[in-house]
Amino acid sequence: MKKFSTLVVIGMLSAAALTGCSSSPSADELKQLEDLKAEVSSLESQIQTRESEKQALLKAIAEKDAQLAQCAKDKEALKARTGN
């Protein structure tokens, strides 16, 4: 996320350097800036969504691992009781 924000800032600075030093930004430049801000906001929202999904998946994996470990314990206990 920080890398992306850094890239956006570098991109905006590069755009400013290429357009020259005017006293005020043009309407087109302001629109580009607003579009970039909206895109950054959207991407940050997507990152949060993906992080939430990742945490849910990690929790599900941990639960399945616990079930698997319990099954292994039950199997060993059953083997011990049956004499195999």
pLDDT, tens only, 8-64 = 666 666 666 666 666 788 999 999 999 999 999 999 999 999 999 999 999 999 999
Q: What is the pLDDT of residue 6?
A: 67
* Residue 41: C-alpha distances to residues 4, 36, 84 (Å): 11, 9, 61
Mean pLDDT of all residues in 68-82: 96
Residue with tokens 């956006």: 8
Cα angle at 35 between 8 and 13, to 5 degrees? 35
Q: Is the dihedral of CA 70, 75, 76, 78 positive or negative?
A: positive
**Closest by alpha carbon to 12, among 41, 42, 32?**
32
